Amino acid sequence: MTAKLEPNVMAKVNSWLNGDYDIDTKQSIQQLIDEANDTELTDAFYKDLEFGTGGLRGLIGIGSNRMNRYTVGTATQGLANYLNKAFPNEAKSVAIAYDSRIKSDEFAKIIADIFSANGIDVYLFEALRPTPELSFAIRELGCKSGVVVTASHNPKEYNGYKAYWDDGSQVVAPHDANIIEEVNAIQSIDDVKFDGDTSRITKIGADIDEKYLNHILSLSISKDAIARQKDLKIVYTPLHGTGVTLVPSLLAKMGFEAVTVIEEQAEPAGNGQFPTVVYPNPEESEAMSKAVEKAKEIDADLVMGTDPDADRVGIAVKNHHGEIQLLNGNQTASVLIYYLLNAWKDAGKLTGTQFVCKTIVTTDLIDKMAAAFDVKCYNTLTGFKYIAQVIREKEGIEEFIGGGEESYGYLIGDAVRDKDAIASCAMIAELTAYAKDKGLSLFDMLMEIYKQFGFYYEGLISLTKKGKSGADEIQQMMADFRANPPKTLAGSPVTRMDDYKALTSTDFNSENTTAIPSGEMGIEPSNVLQFFTEDGTKFTCRPSGTEPKIKFYVGVRAALEKNEDFDSVYAELKEKVKGIGEELGLK
């Protein structure tokens, strides 16, 4: 053993060399020892890959801090133990899906074996499928839980594991903490039951696909407009992910006849390598570039791209200059919600008991629109599991129309309890056809919204602070903002501070502090600060829970009188966001 390793790392390495691990794993560890690769050994073994509130995510490889059969196995055994405690003397089943990443299918098989070995029936998708279909399947099949193997839009070297509860939502309190406790209680790999019971494992696929797609088709509002605009030119890229399994066929079922799929990005992951993109993330212009180029070539009306597990979608449309322009998550969420609100109103379905839902860092334009339709808008912490929590708590009392978050995740209807890029692609294509049927582009519709409700613009300032010193710096920044709130932002007085860690809201004009209700409606203690100004500016400070980053969300607004003013107002708002970042020294 190399002498440079810390004692805790050496102990962990020895436990793997001497424990019940496969020979290939032990040989790989020994090779790193022989090479004196202390850096890799330390990073792979200095801690256990943590099972957080959403599950696991990490680099693929050997070691306790990597995604491999043993870390995946331990997580699954812990979840199985909790299910058997939470539902004693009950028949239990789980659903399992996986994406196109390296080892995703292998991990899914291991997960299925462990659940089955623990007396739990398993529904395992026969091939890769989108995350939202997993959520749908849990509810459709009456499962107690579910797992999807995915690392979302992370680089190719990563994989992950997301755990779901019986309502099709990612696990929330108290189950999240209870599952973590069970996972942490496993002391030895010998406690993990890897030998599966094949009689308890059922393969699923086309039957669930049909039910899921029929559900999405039932959400359609403007079938006549689609029929008239069936030649709407759509370019779609699955970015080497699971969206290719359903989006093209869904658009065809809806009646769209001019859909172009980016073929070089249609092969799922290229054996996990994502060969045509740096990051398979539809938020990145680079990832969307091939689809945008094709749209320019064929003069397309709409571009859509989904991430590897197809829960998020990015879009591009022709702007008022005839150029293909990427829309951000706030803009897409706004046009989606606007379309849904109008459709429900036109159908006479708004009775005062409907609601939409979004996260606290998503554009307040949605709140403004909802109020105009006398529809409630609930705001939750960041994360779609909190939106799902609101849907669950309001079930049978109020009716969910739709919701979204600025990070490109949207949901229409409540049969799925996670962000759903498959249904979103369908509804975005439909609303584009609806707009074109009225002689408008989707971008024209966005400008109409801005003229009616105000031009809302949101900017994100993300600072990376690596290592322990970086983590300390992030905590200090949050402490400084709490102790010394900004008095003004862009010259406008700060009138209120909401502290989600203390769960208090302070009105600086009256100097009154009130409690922010928690424990329900998607709110619990979280290290987030929000500041509001007299002129409607919103500034949010939020450390990332998964990356060494602190994020600052800046929302500003202005009036837009006419389309011709769009460029000048847009430039003014962008400059205002930039100025706020500079005055607060965010660098």
Model confidence pLDDT, tens digit, residues 105-116: 999 999 999 999
Given a contact cutoff of 8 angstroms between Cβ atoms, the answer to whether 8 and 47 are in contact is: no
| Residue 62 DSSP label | S
- The number of CA neighbours under 13 Å toward the Cβ of 161 is 31
Q: Does the pTM of the predicted model rise above 0.75?
A: yes
Q: Could you give the 3-state DSSP secondary structure of residue 445?
A: helix
> Widest CA span of the chain, in angstroms?
74
| pLDDT recorded at residue 470 | 85
Alpha helices in 55-192 (DSSP H): 69-86, 104-117, 131-141, 175-184
| pLDDT recorded at residue 552 | 97
Given a contact cutoff of 8 angstroms between Cβ atoms, the answer to whether 503 and 525 are in contact is: yes
Given a contact cutoff of 8 angstroms between Cβ atoms, the answer to whether 421 and 405 are in contact is: no
Q: Position of tokens 């008022």?
A: 320
Give the chain's residues under pLDDT 50.
Answer: none
| pLDDT recorded at residue 326 | 98
Q: Residue 23, Cβ neighbours under 10 Å: how many?
A: 7
Active site residues: 152
CA angle at 148 for the pair 143 and 154, rounded to the nearest 5°:
160
* Token digits of residue 245: 């399994």
pLDDT 10s digits, 462-511: 999 887 788 889 999 999 999 999 999 999 999 999 999 999 999 999 99
Given a contact cutoff of 8 angstroms between Cβ atoms, the answer to whether 457 and 556 are in contact is: yes
**Distance separating the N- and C-terminal Cα atoms of the chain:** 42
- Contacting residues for 409 by C-beta, under 8 A, at least 6 apart: 311, 312, 329, 384, 419, 421
| pLDDT recorded at residue 269 | 56
Residue 41 to residue 44: CA distance in whole angstroms: 5
Residue 381 to residue 358: CA distance in whole angstroms: 9
Domains present along the chain, CATH in parentheses: 47-204 (3.40.120.10), 211-453 (3.40.120.10), 455-584 (3.30.310)
Residue 152 to residue 347: CA distance in whole angstroms: 36
